[in-house]
Amino acid sequence: MIINTNFRDKLAPRSDLAHATLKNPYLFDFLSLGKNAHEREVEKGLVAHIEKFLLELGDGFAFLGRLYHLQVEEQDFYIDLLFYHIKLRSFVVIDLKSGKFKPKYAGKMNFYLSAVDDLLRHPGDNPSIGLILCRSKVGVLAEYALRDMTKPIGLAAYRLEDALPENLKTALPTIEELEDELAKDLGGDDEHA
């Protein structure tokens, strides 16, 4: 599935590498949170399972922090997740959203990228890249929101549940059935104690 970005206009000649670095959708089934999880639950889960999250992101990502603090004119701002990408030589700012994409998210990301470029970027680094991860598919609305943004921003969806076919889901035992079986097994061991 294609990821929505403005990389071609904002990152030439690195746009192809940046575009190939990202994917859509990201699959966070290792979190076991269920489809109604809130944004902060997803964020905490990703950090708690950072190794699996890094594998899902792909090669070259180095984790720098969760709720990364930036201070601008005595105001505090917190980036959901901050990474550095080794091959792109860029900071990557990730903003998680638990609902549908809204155009205002692009403006917020543009602000974060400007601040990161001014406050964190070193002389040898390339401009920072933003990635907004939403629970829903992103389409024309995202394209319009990104069209005239000044910073490189990508939008992608994420899923919390795996894509097991329905026939396999019904063939596997439920959590309750597994717990019942474990309770039976543990109950049988009491006689031998």
Per-residue pLDDT tens for 108-121? 999 999 999 999 99
Number of structural domains found in the chain: 1
Asked whether residue 9 is assigned to any structural domain, the reply reads: yes
Asked whether residue 186 is assigned to any structural domain, the reply reads: no
Q: Domain limits at 113?
A: 4-162
Asked whether residue 173 is assigned to any structural domain, the reply reads: no
Asked whether residue 41 is assigned to any structural domain, the reply reads: yes
Give the confidence band of 160 by pLDDT, cuts at 50, 70, 90.
confident
CA distance between the termini of the chain: 56
Separation of alpha carbons 17 and 45, rounded Å: 28
Q: pTM of the predicted model, to two decimals? A: 0.71
Convert 7-27 to b/e letters by CB count within 10 Å (16 or more is b).
beebbeebbeebbebbebbbe
Q: Give the CA count within 13 Å in the CB-facing half-sphere of 169.
A: 6
- What tens digit of pLDDT does each residue of 6-31 get? 677 667 776 667 766 776 677 777 77
Asked whether residue 149 is assigned to any structural domain, the reply reads: yes
Nearest to 7, CA basis, from 68, 92, 100, 105: 92
Q: How far is CA 139 from CA 9, 145, 163, in A?
A: 18, 10, 22
Give the confidence band of 2 by pLDDT, cuts at 50, 70, 90.
very low
28-42, 48-62, 85-99, 179-193: lowest mean pLDDT where?
179-193
Asked whether residue 184 is assigned to any structural domain, the reply reads: no
Domain holding 67: CATH number?
Answer: 3.40.1350.10
Nearest to 17, CA basis, from 120, 68, 90: 90
Asked whether residue 62 is assigned to any structural domain, the reply reads: yes
Q: Give the CA count within 13 Å in the CB-facing half-sphere of 130.
A: 29
Average predicted confidence (pLDDT) for the chain: 79
DSSP, res 153: E
Asked whether residue 59 is assigned to any structural domain, the reply reads: yes
